[in-house]
Structure 1
């Protein structure tokens, strides 16, 4: 088995564990390319020249690009891995601004603080990706403070 095959198998397993069974094959087709660290570990995964995901060095979890989030949202049933925000905050979040708790309408109850999330509007259109900072219950009930640390929005160039 070549290094490319080993890397592909590894990131697919990581995606299946993190997002659910079958997500690895959706996110990482057979023709993905890898950017490796100096120590030959996978750092970034690209498909057709587009960044799909990054393997976070500190904990080995995947962080999604907007393209990765769009691909994943197409196969995950609502509300899986999603944070739904109100219409008023959508333009700001899509530009990469923080999603505050007062703007959160719904959160996948299976998520935990620190999980990678797909931020969507009420029609399930992908706006951004980020890391959930609160528990799902806190994110929905709280009136202040950040709920999701937005990594990248769809309107960012």
Structure 2
């Protein structure tokens, strides 16, 4: 097994752990390219056809998603897995990269915890953005104030 194959297997296992079984294969196709840290030699970014899919964070060992990576997971998993659902009224703002506030959340995957990577969708399950949950699923549904998701990248950014 070559170095590229070992790296691909490793990132797929991490993705399966972080997002659920099947995420690794959905997120990372066979011909991925790896951007390694020049100082440590560890994987930092995973790209496919020149487009970044995800970044492996050094401090947590988990992924942050690009919008392309979010699209792949959105297609791979059925509603409501990994999703935070927002009102249609704010969909345009979220798609432009604005943060999600608790008062705009109408539904959420019950397994989401604070600091999880999430997909933000509208009420019709159209992908709007990817980001990091600031609150747990229960808190998002119960709170009327405060930030629910810190958006990393919107679909229209």
TM range (shorter): over 0.9
CA shift for structure 1 position 20: 1.0
1:118 offset after TM fit, Å? 0.4
Cα shift at 1:48: 1.1
Structure 2 residues not aligned, in runs of 5+: none
Note the C-alpha offset of 1:90: 0.8
Using the TM superposition, give the Cα deviation of residue 62 of structure 1 relative to its aligned residue in structure 2, in angstroms: 0.7
Q: CA RMSD in A?
A: 0.8
Once the two structures are TM-superposed, the CA of residue 69 in structure 1 deviates from its matched residue by 0.7
- 1:151 matched residue in structure 2: 152
TM-score by length of 1: 0.97
TM-score calculated relative to the size of structure 2: 0.97
How do 1:3-22 and structure 2 match up within 5 A?
Answer: 3-22=3-22
The secondary structure found in structure 2 opposite 1:147 is: strand
Partner of 1:24: 24
User: 1:105-120 residue pairs with structure 2 within 5 A?
Assistant: 105-120=106-121
1:57 paired residue number:
58
| SS of equivalent to 1:63 | strand
Aligned length in residues: 156
Q: Which runs of 5+ in 1 are unaligned?
A: none
Question: Residue 41 of structure 1 corresponds to which residue in structure 2?
Answer: 42
